[in-house]
Amino acid sequence: MVTIVQFHSIRTCGGMGGGGPGFGEAGVGGVCEAGGMPESPEVQALAEEVGARLAGRALADADVLEFRVQKTRARPLQTLVGDRVAAVTRHGKLLDLAFASGAHLVVSLGRHGWARWGGADAGEVTDAGEATGASNATDAAGPTGPAEPPPPALAALAFDDGATLELTDAGGWISLGCWVVDDPREVPAVAKLGPDPADPAFTREDFDRAFGARRKQVKAVLQEQESIAGIGNAYSDEILHAARVSPVVHAAALADAERDGLFAATVEVIRDAIAARRGIRIAALKAAKVAAMRVHGRAGEPCPRCGDTIRDFTFASTTAQYCPTCQTGGEVLPLREASAD
């Protein structure tokens, strides 16, 4: 039997849709917003830690506490019991546990999904990563107020050496999903993925194919998994700031020099972040991400390059950040006011 932290209800938080100024990803702190959506650098570090811990271990038990996370109803997680983990990899923002039988457990972390060690490892990881503040980065998660209660485990995987991997979701709605498949490309979110800028094979041609002559805002293209894999709200802000490109300019309107800079920034920001996050324990990764952001989540703070004040703007259903001086020639982008408080 898998021992996990039981949950009573899915907590809500000021994220998707209901957010406003200060309530975007990496905004005012708390479990829900700290770090926001996992993006490729954090998922890469997660895959590496889980792989290092679980490779060669056999799954002893699988407990799905929230049936909605199990996307392959005809092939539940329990069908993997007895199978050994062969390797753990990443596809875009999705985690892939490959088993010796050839089966794959693909986990989509969605907007607020994450993983943690349970069972005998639970205290160790929590102490090392969060409770003692072993990483300076954890301070950035919220110096004000007591820590939020941990998010509920929606599924738990127990292994033959006592390790337990719990899959969590801190969102107001469940975005975590699990698929048991023979080929990861059976998962639609994997099948549709475009090239990954962390891949050494990622080329300028891949980048130009994604951006092309499209009449779509560059921040949207960067976050479009079909075009470029692994990037979300936070790293797209960082890439655009590094490249000094407005988030709302259409891809087709980019000058050649801007396109050059955006390609270089996309590769550099993602690869640097992957290198920087490598080896950070999974309990501390989201805080490390927040601490590393130069513009994302830093509205009101000075731009590290020019000193102008970083601003919020409304993008799609969320809030994002930019520097007017560096990115928009001083133009202030629209910010939708919060509907509540």
Positions touching Zn ion (CB under 5 A) are 303, 305-306, 308, 323, 325-326
287 vs 326 by CB, closer to Zn ion: 326
In the complex, the smallest distance separating the C-beta of residue 329 from Zn ion, rounded to whole angstroms, is 11
272 vs 308 by CB, closer to Zn ion: 308
52 vs 306 by CB, closer to Zn ion: 306
116 vs 241 by CB, closer to Zn ion: 241
In the complex, the smallest distance separating the C-beta of residue 239 from Zn ion, rounded to whole angstroms, is 14
309 vs 317 by CB, closer to Zn ion: 309
Residue 324 near residue 332, CB atoms below 8 Å: yes
11 vs 305 by CB, closer to Zn ion: 305
In the complex, the smallest distance separating the C-beta of residue 244 from Zn ion, rounded to whole angstroms, is 8
Distances (CA, A) of 186 to 150, 189, 293, 333: 32, 9, 34, 40
- Residue number with the shortest CB distance to Zn ion? 303
143 vs 329 by CB, closer to Zn ion: 329
**Alpha-carbon 134 to chain mean position:** 22
Residue 27's Cβ-count burial label (10 Å; 0-12, 13-18, 19+) is: buried
In the complex, the smallest distance separating the C-beta of residue 327 from Zn ion, rounded to whole angstroms, is 7
Give φ, ψ of 119 to 5 degrees.
55, -135
In the complex, the smallest distance separating the C-beta of residue 299 from Zn ion, rounded to whole angstroms, is 13
In the complex, the smallest distance separating the C-beta of residue 224 from Zn ion, rounded to whole angstroms, is 26
In the complex, the smallest distance separating the C-beta of residue 262 from Zn ion, rounded to whole angstroms, is 16
